[in-house]
């Protein structure tokens, strides 16, 4: 295996490819008691239309999430039960862009790793079990529809984007999951759960060669084609709508506001854009910003307020959200702050704040390296995105004030913001939800 050291962040990463081409990464964490394995496929809820074998294939909403649920089924029982009985803490998740299966354990790590790789690689469904799962996931969907966080987030996504599948729930709808069959699941597993579309990341005090040896022995499937994805027509920066409101049983209005942003497809420029977008959000309304301090002192935002830059399925966006007695006022204040920060007279003060924000973000990045889930998920997403996750700290330090101001000017235009609100009252879906 290749070994690469990152002196500034004191990390040692081993990497290699299996004979079938699948990448394997081991982040050596000497002296740690637990170990963590993260087995991921570049397949998420937004990957509903794709080209494979020269044929365009359309699948219902929710297939990736449904498949994640069913992958724990084995011919002999359930892998979740097996791993738990073996001292591991297993779980899985599906986002808009990836599906991942992971566990942590303090003992029997290699045995548990073998179990993980085996059950994710070999699907086992029956029509009876698929129908049963439709009921289980249906309940999950109904519960999520009663969740204010779900409503306010997807309310904003539907305002910002007209057709991109990321605007729809990863879990799908009651109607869409009714269309999913065992044949659908087997087909999507064959297409997306192939070595060319997956990666394995392990962190802990483990022997890299042992991890690679286990993966080589278990993961013998031949490499396959990487499907071409279709996320619909290119999205406009102008939002599809400017405001949506739903009534739910909340004590205070919940809100999210945001604007669409440009996003490079792959490589280091993608990582740099992600880091720059995060700095821009912090500069405008991060905890140390003048705006945050003022809005908090006036009671317009609470401690749950946050701002982030996110991307998925060929789109990107900056969003701010939390709870507030007056979300429309918060939106107006953020728009005014963007204009103020970009004004020549405010530039010097903003540059000084940005320098502090960069130092704080650098410290957060370093501290996050002790989080095995953060390290492994970040390394897997970087693998799929064509960049080096562990280079982020060095790149962050090199981002200039001009880059951040340019990002704000291009991607945070006040006229491109939209606002999604969940207000106290009798449940009433927002238009388009």
Cβ atoms 267, 389 nearer than 8 A: no
Cβ atoms 244, 159 nearer than 8 A: yes
How does the average pLDDT of the chain come out, rounded? 94
Q: Are residues 47 and 139 in the same domain?
A: yes
Q: Are residues 177 and 36 in the same domain?
A: yes
The span from the first CA to the last CA of the chain, in angstroms, equals: 49
pLDDT at position 427 is: 65
**pLDDT by residue (tens digit) across 172-200?**
999 999 999 999 999 999 999 999 999 99
Cβ atoms 50, 25 nearer than 8 A: no
Listed in order, strand segments (DSSP E) in 223-305 are 228-229, 243-248, 254-261
Q: Which residues of 252-290 are buried (b: 16+ CB within 10 A; e: fewer)?
A: ebbbbbbbbbebbeeeeebbbbbbbbbbbbbbbbbeebe
**pLDDT by residue (tens digit) across 293-317?**
999 999 999 999 999 999 999 999 9
Catalytically active residues are 68
- The last residue of a domain, from among 204, 229, 254: 229
- The last residue of a domain, from among 198, 229, 260: 229
Q: Are residues 221 and 341 in the same domain?
A: no
Is residue 346 very low, low, confident or very high in pLDDT (cuts 50, 70, 90)?
Answer: confident
pLDDT higher for 8 or 335? 335
Find the helix or strand (DSSP H, E) in which 25 lies: strand 23-28
Sheet holding 243-248, edge to edge: 243-248, 418-424, 254-261, 315-323, 306-312
- For residue 237, tell me if it sits in a domain: no
Domain boundaries, position 374? 243-424
Q: Are residues 213 and 284 in the same domain?
A: no
Round to whole Å and give the CA distance between 301 and 294.
9
pLDDT at position 428 is: 54
pLDDT at position 231 is: 96
Q: What is the pTM of this model?
A: 0.94
DSSP 26-86: EEE-TT-S-EEEEEEES--TT--EEEETTEEEE--TTHHHHHHHHTTEETTEEHHHHHHHT
CATH number at residue 274: 3.30.830.10
pLDDT at position 433 is: 43
Sheet holding 55-58, edge to edge: 55-58, 49-52, 228-229
Q: How many domains are there within the chain?
A: 2
The number of residues making up the chain comes to: 433
- Is the pLDDT score of 420 beyond 60? yes
Q: Are residues 165 and 303 in the same domain?
A: no
Q: Are residues 361 and 409 in the same domain?
A: yes
- For residue 65, tell me if it sits in a domain: yes
Q: Are residues 100 and 131 in the same domain?
A: yes
Q: Are residues 106 and 204 in the same domain?
A: yes
Q: Are residues 36 and 159 in the same domain?
A: yes
pLDDT at position 347 is: 82
**Hey, is 390 helix, strand or coil?**
helix
Q: Are residues 181 and 286 in the same domain?
A: no
pLDDT at position 430 is: 47
State the DSSP code for 252: S
**pLDDT by residue (tens digit) across 42-88?**
999 999 999 999 999 999 999 999 999 999 999 888 999 999 999 99
pLDDT at position 345 is: 87
- For residue 66, tell me if it sits in a domain: yes
If you average pLDDT over residues 147-154, what whole number do you get?
96
Could you tell me the two tokens for 413? 């235009």
- The last residue of a domain, from among 229, 252, 277: 229
Which of left, alpha, beta for 174 (phi over 0: left; psi -120 to 50: alpha)?
alpha
Q: Are residues 416 and 359 in the same domain?
A: yes
Helices vs. strands in the chain: H and E counts, helices first: 15, 17
If you average pLDDT over residues 97-107, what whole number do you get?
97
- For residue 101, tell me if it sits in a domain: yes
- Is the pLDDT score of 254 beyond 60? yes
Round to whole Å and give the CA distance between 433 and 422.
12
- Is the pLDDT score of 97 beyond 70? yes
Is residue 285 very low, low, confident or very high in pLDDT (cuts 50, 70, 90)?
Answer: very high
Cβ atoms 100, 380 nearer than 8 A: yes
Could you tell me the two tokens for 176? 């869409």
- For residue 363, tell me if it sits in a domain: yes
pLDDT at position 265 is: 81
**Hey, is 11 helix, strand or coil?**
strand
- For residue 432, tell me if it sits in a domain: no
DSSP 82-95: HHHHTTEEEEEEE-
Round to whole Å and give the CA distance between 175 and 142.
12
Burial class of residue 76, CB neighbours in 10 A (0-12, 13-18, 19+): exposed
């Amino acid at each position: 295996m290749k070994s690469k050291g990152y002196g500034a962040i004191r990390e040692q990463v081993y990497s290699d490819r299996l004979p079938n081409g699948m990448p394997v990464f081991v982040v050596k964490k000497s002296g740690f008691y637990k170990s963590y394995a993260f087995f991921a496929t570049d397949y998420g809820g937004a990957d509903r239309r794709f080209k494979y074998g020269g044929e365009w294939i359309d699948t219902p909403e929710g297939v990736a999430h449904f498949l994640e649920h069913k992958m724990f089924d084995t011919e002999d029982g359930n892998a979740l039960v097996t791993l738990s009985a073996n001292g591991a803490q297993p779980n899985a998740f599906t986002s808009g862009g990836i599906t991942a299966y992971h566990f942590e354990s303090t003992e029997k790590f290699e045995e548990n790793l073998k179990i993980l790789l085996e059950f994710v690689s070999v699907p086992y469904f029956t029509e009876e079990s698929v129908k049963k799962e439709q009921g289980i996931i249906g309940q999950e969907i109904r519960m999520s529809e009663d969740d204010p966080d779900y409503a306010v987030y997807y309310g904003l996504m539907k305002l910002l984007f007209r057709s991109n599948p990321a605007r729809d729930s990863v879990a799908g709808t009651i109607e869409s999951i009714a269309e999913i069959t065992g044949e659908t699941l087997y087909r999507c597993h064959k297409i997306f759960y192939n070595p060319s579309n997956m990666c394995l990341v392990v962190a802990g005090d483990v022997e890299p060669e042992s991890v690679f040896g286990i993966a080589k022995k278990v993961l013998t499937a031949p490499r396959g084609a990487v499907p071409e994805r279709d996320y619909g027509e290119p999205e406009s920066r102008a939002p599809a709508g400017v405001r949506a409101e739903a009534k739910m049983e909340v004590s205070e209005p919940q809100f999210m506001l945001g604007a669409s942003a440009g996003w490079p497809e792959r490589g280091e420029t993608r990582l740099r854009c992600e880091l720059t977008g995060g700095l821009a959000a912090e500069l405008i309304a991060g905890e140390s910003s003048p705006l945050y301090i003022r809005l908090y002192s006036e009671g317009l935002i609470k401690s749950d307020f946050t701002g982030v830059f996110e991307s998925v399925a060929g789109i990107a966006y900056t969003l701010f959200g939390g709870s507030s007695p007056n979300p429309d006022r918060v939106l107006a204040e953020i728009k005014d702050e963007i204009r103020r920060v970009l004004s020549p007279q405010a530039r010097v003060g903003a540059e000084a704040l940005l320098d502090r924000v960069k130092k704080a973000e650098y410290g957060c990045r370093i501290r996050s390296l002790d989080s095995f889930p953060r390290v492994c998920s970040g390394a897997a997403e970087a693998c799929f995105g064509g960049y080096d996750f562990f280079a982020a700290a060095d790149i962050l330090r090199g981002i200039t004030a001009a880059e951040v101001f340019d990002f704000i000017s291009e991607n945070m235009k006040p006229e491109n913001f939209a606002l999604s609100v969940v207000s106290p009252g009798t449940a009433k879906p927002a238009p388009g939800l």
